[in-house]
Amino acid sequence: MRRTPREEALSARLVTRRTVFLGGVQLAVAGTLVWRMRDMQLNQADQFRLLAEENRINIRLIPPTRGLIQDRNGIVIAGNEQNYRIVMVREDAGDVDLVLERLQTLIALSDDDIERAHRDVMRNRPFVPVTIAERLEWEAIARVAANAPALPGITPEVGLSRHYPMVEDFAHSVGYVGPVTERDLEALEAPDPVLQIPRFQIGKIGVERRMEDRLRGTAGSRRIEVNAVGRVMRELDRIDGTPGSNVTLTLDARLQNFVQARLAGESAAGVVMDVQNGDLLAIASAPGFDPNLFVRGISVPDYRELLEDPYRPLVDKTVQGMYPPGSTFKMVVALAALAAGETSASERVFCPGHMDISGHRFHCWRRGGHGRMNMVSALSESCDVYFYEMALRIGIERINEMSARLGLGIRYDLPMSGIAAGLNPTREWKQARRNEAWLVGDTVNASIGQGFVLSTPLQLAVMTARLATNRAVLPRLVRDAGEDDAAARQARALDLNPEWLALIKRGMSECTNHARGTAYSTRIVDANYRHAGKTGTSQVFSITRAEREAGIRRQEDLPWNRRNHALFVAFAPEDAPRIAVSVIVEHGGGGSSAAAPIGRDIVLAALHGDMPPLSAYPASQRNRIETQMGELSSRLRPLASGGSDRA
Amino acid sequence: MTYLEYNVKRTPAGLAKVMHLNWPLVVLVIAVAGVGLVMLFSVAGGSMRPWAEPQARRFALGMVLMFAIAFTPLWFWRSIAAVAYALSVLLLLGVEFFGTIGMGARRWLELGPVRLQPSELAKITLVMALAAYYDWLDLKRTSHPLWVLIALVIIVVPTLLVLRQPDLGTGLLLGAGGTIVMFAAGVSWIYFAVAVAAAGGTVALVLASRGTEWQILRDYQYRRIDAFIDPSLDPLGAGYHISQAKIAMGSGGWSGRGFMQGTQSRLNFLPEKHTDFIFTTLAEEFGFVGAVSLLALYLLIIAFCIVTILRASSRFGALLATGVTVSFFLYFAVNMAMVMGLLPVVGVPLPLVSFGGSAMVVLLISFGLLQSVHVHRPRTPA
């Protein structure tokens, strides 16, 4: 529209005015923007920089190398093995199915494995490495590496995994590791973040569990840059962790192997202890199991088999198994009677084969009776009536007192799992547990290690060591670094009258070396190795009246789980004791027949340091023993002497 | 300094027009587009592909169009304003019924080989139509309710059509740009005071309608509002974009993390790093210095646009230049405020910098119109 110059001027003035106003508004808005930039980029820059770094940087832990567990000579009991595995990165693989198919022709993979691998690969982001197979042989890895061009996206990797070269020998004492579970984490107050690493291994039982802190070490870390979807772009830096400390045990792998092999086939336990310093030289429970199965994650059928085995291979019978000590308890009663002044070396007690106490007849194991017995012959021939008499004189309290003094009924602090305390039964205990009054018959039963008395094989070994040395020997499983002065380790004195002890030791010596002794058939004829011991046979079920009337059945006629436990304890050499041994064969029948032969072989192996020498056995037995040992040595593990071959 | 001469003796003709272009503005536009290309090169990880190269080609095309439009007489643009406006409304209606759906919105029209985004075109034609309308209208009637209502209809029709697509960002800016042209044309203050009050009421209404049957905005739009008010509410969902954008901005600090060293954009934490959020990449890599420098370049562009507005001798020219200037300002101001968390994320690109062909070309066309106003500033003798 045409306008007059006046109108034009008016319009121009108006536009100019409003444009200037708008310009001012725009400047104000720009000012606000600058103020905001200043606020974010200058005032809060540090916080935002931190957030950006948190975005971009992830910390990945590097698992530490677990410390080794070695025997007293440095032989590796628990080591770390190279674990070769195959991983696949989907985005590098291209055709996943084709690559898996090719892989199947090179390494042993079942169709199920392939299916699982395919699922895992597809479920993860394309750049995430997925483990296809692990614990492969070196040859399989070499085959895969040689065919690398045909296998895009496949890389062989190597990690470390726990390995137990001694298989079942240390399954109970050393235990095993396994993948961390929720329960493991809940049990810890402040779990180490390293435990969150997938498939990280933690000690489950035994030394592996109890000394976890020393063995584990501390994790290293690497800082890596990741992008928004978590892909690793590069490693920024790396802090190496510290490997776990090695643990040296007092055990002797060679002896342990011998004991384990000697016990094989029985449900049994054997303990060998250095009487001077308490070092456990062997602590074996049979049957064993392969701890390596647990490291890999044991299969359900394998685990069920172990659980359902009547010989209970998963139980460590040396420290967890509590047994009536039977006649091996008689040394305690004898010493208690001497200490109480209720008897003397020369006193004789007549054994007619039984004793009637408050209307109940207590039998001696020998129906016809032993005749007149003194303390030495009562121990040697294991006369029950003699000890019934002693028990009646001194009562349960004084028996318990001596029992505790000799190391029974005490829970020892060893790095093993489920250590039992055993039981020295008291009046109060019976009242509290059974709500029954203590009867004199209970004392009588206790005098021959029956009734309520319970001991572990470890405790019986400690008792024997204390009898041999008159010192309060304490068992020890781990050697502390830098300290192995035997004198410094010597236990405090037990302060028993040496004359009493000499009497007890003579009783034990005659038990193994006197023609009338219960263990005479398993004597050692080599004077350097001669041992002094005591057999024990403890009833699991009392013989019923009906059975008695039908004539006492022989042990062999009873079902296995109703047979008596067989026990044997000994120290050797008898003149200058070095070792104490205890053996228990569950439902073995009799101490002299089932436990004493094992005990003798162990004593000889421990003292000789190798297979027992044939010359130590009585000449008449050598042929039989030779065959037996030949068979046994074929089952022994060849051991590299000292040093470690695995790292 | 021919471009600043106030009353040139006669309208430049032929090649002489070149001397009368608003040259500082041309240089500034090239400078900002250059910054954009550098940033697109950076966010691609140091590569001309896939963004910088096509962007450069479209910029070249846009520049050619800009010059062509600048040298076309202003009366031509005034005479086609009404037709252009009607055509763009028709195209928007076409989108409504025949448009192509992409990313949850119906924005494009397939015309043979050409893929047209009519909402971009409407930015220019609305401004042209309003300028022509107020040029035609008797000055005395400017604030008359009936004539104000007609202007409002001119604005509201394309705005509503764009909002329905839905394209919240473009729609709101279209409405705001048109309203500011009305303001510049001299419509009475009272209307604007009422409008501001009404806008406040509308916001209240929009918020109140949430979750009811007559809910006005889409759910995702409400979630954006929530995330805007409190980004920490949902750091991995709706608030993720803005949280990451703020981290990128803030971590730039004074001088930035260095060219192509921005971890937020390089590691893909930043969303839409080559389009709406490109400013955060710049702020991360070049810091406060870089961000303020770009803002300064934009303000210089505005300043030289205002020179054109003030020197324009015709009412049509002045209002057209105002519309172009205001639209441009709204775009970069809203985009920056959005990525800095001052405004909700509504999907507005950073003009001349963000990757996007049609926006770039349309922007340069509008600068062409402004240049035409500048070149043809003296009134031709009656």
Distance CA A220, CA A223 (A): 10
Q: Could you tell me if A175 and A268 lie in one domain?
A: no
pLDDT at B365: 94
**A37 chain-B contacts, CB cut-off 8 A:** 249, 283, 288, 291-292, 295, 340
- Look at residue B382 and tell me if it is in a domain: no
Mutate to test the interface with A, among B147, B254, B267, B308 (most CBs of A within 10 A): B267
Whether the predicted pLDDT of A544 surpasses 70: no
Tell me whether residues A1 and B310 touch, CB distance under 8 A. Answer: no
Give the CATH number, domain containing residue A528. Answer: 3.40.710.10
Tell me whether residues A45 and B336 touch, CB distance under 8 A. Answer: no
- Look at residue A501 and tell me if it is in a domain: yes
**Helix, strand or coil, per DSSP, at residue A599:** helix
- Look at residue B313 and tell me if it is in a domain: yes
Which residue from A minimizes the CA distance to B341? A36
From the list A19, A30, A37, the residue facing B288 with the nearest CB is A37
- Look at residue A245 and tell me if it is in a domain: yes
User: In the predicted model, what is the mean pLDDT of residues B6-21?
Assistant: 72
Distance CA A427, CA A135 (A): 57
Distance CA A65, CA A68 (A): 9
Distance CA A342, CA A358 (A): 21
User: In the predicted model, what is the mean pLDDT of residues A468-485?
Assistant: 82
Q: Could you tell me if A186 and A279 lie in one domain?
A: no
Tell me whether residues A1 and B135 touch, CB distance under 8 A. Answer: yes
**A48 chain-B contacts, CB cut-off 8 A:** 246-247, 249-251
Tell me whether residues A51 and B250 touch, CB distance under 8 A. Answer: yes
For chain B, the farthest-separated pair of C-alpha atoms sits apart, in whole angstroms, at: 65
Tell me whether residues A36 and B318 touch, CB distance under 8 A. Answer: no
- Look at residue A42 and tell me if it is in a domain: no
Of A292-301, A611-620, B231-240, which has the strongest mean pLDDT? A611-620
Q: Is B242 on the interface with A (CB under 8 A)?
A: no
Distance CA A535, CA A339 (A): 23
- Look at residue A47 and tell me if it is in a domain: no
Mutate to test the interface with A, among B143, B179, B182, B251 (most CBs of A within 10 A): B251
Q: Which ranges of A230-320 would DSSP assign to H, the alpha helix?
A: 253-263, 291-296, 300-308
Whether the predicted pLDDT of A11 surpasses 90: no
- Final residue in a domain of this structure, among A214, A249, A284: A249
Whether the predicted pLDDT of A552 surpasses 90: no
Quote the minimal CA–CA distance from A25 to chain B in Å.
11
If one counts the domains in chain A, the total is 2
User: Residue A456, CB half-sphere, CA atoms under 13 Å: how many?
Assistant: 25
Give the CATH number, domain containing residue A200. Answer: 3.90.1310.10
Question: In the structure encoding, which two tokens stand for residue A313, read together?
Answer: 């291979």
Q: Is A40 on the interface with B (CB under 8 A)?
A: yes
Tell me whether residues A34 and B322 touch, CB distance under 8 A. Answer: no
Mutate to test the interface with B, among A40, A49, A227 (most CBs of B within 10 A): A40
Contact yes or no for B279/B303 (Cβ under 8 A) = no
Tell me whether residues B247 and A55 touch, CB distance under 8 A. Answer: yes
Does residue B73 have a cis peptide bond before it, meaning omega lies within 30 degrees of 0? no
Whether the predicted pLDDT of B125 surpasses 90: yes
Contact yes or no for A518/A591 (Cβ under 8 A) = yes
- Look at residue B359 and tell me if it is in a domain: yes
Whether the predicted pLDDT of B14 surpasses 80: no
Q: Could you tell me if A165 and A294 lie in one domain?
A: no
Quote the minimal CA–CA distance from A9 to chain B in Å.
10
Interface of A with B in 521-550 (CB under 8 A): none
Whether the predicted pLDDT of A487 surpasses 60: no
Q: Name A360's bridge partners.
A: A357
If one counts the domains in chain B, the total is 1
Interface of B with A in 171-200 (CB under 8 A): 180, 183-186
Task: Return the minimum-mean-pLDDT range out of B28-37, B167-176, B363-372.
Answer: B167-176
Distance CA A321, CA A558 (A): 22
- Look at residue B251 and tell me if it is in a domain: yes
β-strand A69-70 against A76-89: which pairing, if any? antiparallel
Whether the predicted pLDDT of B30 surpasses 60: yes
Q: Could you tell me if A257 and A207 lie in one domain?
A: no
Q: Kindly give, in sequence order, each residue whose CB lies less than 8 Å from that of residue B224, ignoring residues fewer than 6 positions away.
A: B238, B344, B345, B346
Tell me whether residues A15 and B299 touch, CB distance under 8 A. Answer: no
**B183 chain-A contacts, CB cut-off 8 A:** 18, 22
From the list A10, A18, A44, the residue facing B250 with the nearest CB is A44
Q: Could you tell me if A283 and A264 lie in one domain?
A: yes
Contact yes or no for A280/A250 (Cβ under 8 A) = yes
pLDDT at A609: 87
pLDDT at A215: 94
Q: How confident is the model at residue B378 (pLDDT cuts 50, 70, 90)?
A: low
- Look at residue B311 and tell me if it is in a domain: yes
Q: What is the domain extent for residue B106?
A: 2-375
- Look at residue B187 and tell me if it is in a domain: yes
Q: Which ranges of A197-249 would DSSP assign to H, the alpha helix?
A: 206-210, 212-216
Which residue from B minimizes the CA distance to A6? B139
- Look at residue A624 and tell me if it is in a domain: yes
Q: Kindly give, in sequence order, each residue whose CB lies less than 8 Å from that of residue A52, ignoring residues fewer than 6 positions away.
A: B247, B248, B250, B251, B263, B264, B269
Q: Could you tell me if A408 and A436 lie in one domain?
A: yes
Tell me whether residues B288 and A42 touch, CB distance under 8 A. Answer: yes
Whether the predicted pLDDT of B110 surpasses 80: no
- Final residue in a domain of this structure, among A232, A249, A266: A249
Quote the minimal CA–CA distance from B287 to chain A in Å.
7
Q: Is B253 on the interface with A (CB under 8 A)?
A: yes
Tell me whether residues B322 and A49 touch, CB distance under 8 A. Answer: no
Task: Return the minimum-mean-pLDDT range out of A51-55, B29-33, B302-306.
Answer: A51-55
The catalytic residue positions of A are 327
Q: How confident is the model at residue A335 (pLDDT cuts 50, 70, 90)?
A: very high
pLDDT at A647: 36
**B283 chain-A contacts, CB cut-off 8 A:** 37, 41
Work out the percent of chain A whose per-residue pLDDT is above 90.
60
Q: Is A34 on the interface with B (CB under 8 A)?
A: yes
Q: Could you tell me if A153 and A229 lie in one domain?
A: yes
Q: Could you tell me if A171 and A267 lie in one domain?
A: no
**A40 chain-B contacts, CB cut-off 8 A:** 246, 249-250, 340
Alpha carbon of residue B64 to chain centroid = 20
Interface of B with A in 275-334 (CB under 8 A): 283, 287-288, 291-292, 295, 298-299, 302, 306, 309-310, 312-313, 315, 318-319, 322, 326, 329, 333
3-state secondary structure string, chain B?
CHHHCCCCCCCCCCCHHHHCCCHHHHHHHHHHHHHHHHHHHHHCCCCCCCCHHHHHHHHHHHHHHHHHHHHCCHHHHHHHHHHHHHHHHHHHHHHHHHCEEECCEEEEEEECCEEECHHHHHHHHHHHHHHHHHHHCCHHHCCCHHHHHHHHHHHHHHHHHHHCCCCHHHHHHHHHHHHHHHHHHCCCHHHHHHHHHHHHHHHHHHHHCCCCCCCCCCHHHHHHHHHHHCHHHCCCCCCHHHHHHHHHHHHHCCCCCCCCCCHHHHCCCCCCCCCCCHHHHHHHHHHHHHHHHHHHHHHHHHHHHHHHHHHCCCHHHHHHHHHHHHHHHHHHHHHHHHHCCCCCCCCCCCCCCCCCHHHHHHHHHHHHHHHHHHHCCCCCCC
Q: Is A28 on the interface with B (CB under 8 A)?
A: no
- Tens digits of residue pLDDT in A40-51: 999 888 888 888
Q: Could you tell me if A286 and A245 lie in one domain?
A: no
Q: What is the domain extent for residue A219?
A: 60-249
Tell me whether residues A15 and B137 touch, CB distance under 8 A. Answer: no
Distance CA A512, CA A464 (A): 14
Q: Is A493 on the interface with B (CB under 8 A)?
A: no
pLDDT at A644: 40
User: In the predicted model, what is the mean pLDDT of residues A463-488?
Assistant: 82
- Residue given tokens 């985004």 in the structure block: B117
Q: Is B258 on the interface with A (CB under 8 A)?
A: no
pLDDT at B232: 62
- Look at residue A424 and tell me if it is in a domain: yes
Q: How confident is the model at residue A555 (pLDDT cuts 50, 70, 90)?
A: confident
Contact yes or no for B279/A80 (Cβ under 8 A) = no
Q: Could you tell me if A346 and A435 lie in one domain?
A: yes
- Tens digits of residue pLDDT in A400-457: 999 999 999 999 999 999 999 999 999 999 999 989 999 999 999 999 999 999 999 9
Q: Could you tell me if A220 and A300 lie in one domain?
A: no
The one-character DSSP state at A471 is B
- Look at residue B44 and tell me if it is in a domain: yes
Tell me whether residues A227 and B268 touch, CB distance under 8 A. Answer: yes
- Look at residue A29 and tell me if it is in a domain: no
- Final residue in a domain of this structure, among A234, A249, A264: A249
**Helix (H) or strand (E) run with residue A527 in it:** none
User: In the predicted model, what is the mean pLDDT of residues A257-275?
Assistant: 95
Q: Could you tell me if A446 and A583 lie in one domain?
A: yes
Q: Is A36 on the interface with B (CB under 8 A)?
A: yes
Residue type, A613: P
Q: Is A22 on the interface with B (CB under 8 A)?
A: yes
User: In the predicted model, what is the mean pLDDT of residues A242-255?
Assistant: 94
Q: Is A226 on the interface with B (CB under 8 A)?
A: yes
Distance CA A236, CA A246 (A): 31
- Look at residue A641 and tell me if it is in a domain: no
The one-character DSSP state at A246 is P
What DSSP letter does each residue of A182-198 carry, written as one string?
A: HHHHHH-SS--GGGGST
Tell me whether residues A22 and B264 touch, CB distance under 8 A. Answer: no
Mutate to test the interface with B, among A13, A33, A227, A231 (most CBs of B within 10 A): A33
Quote the minimal CA–CA distance from B350 to chain A in Å.
14
- Please, is A342 exposed, middle or buried when counting C-beta atoms within 10 Å of its C-beta (0-12, 13-18, 19+)? middle
Q: How confident is the model at residue A367 (pLDDT cuts 50, 70, 90)?
A: confident
**B137 chain-A contacts, CB cut-off 8 A:** 1
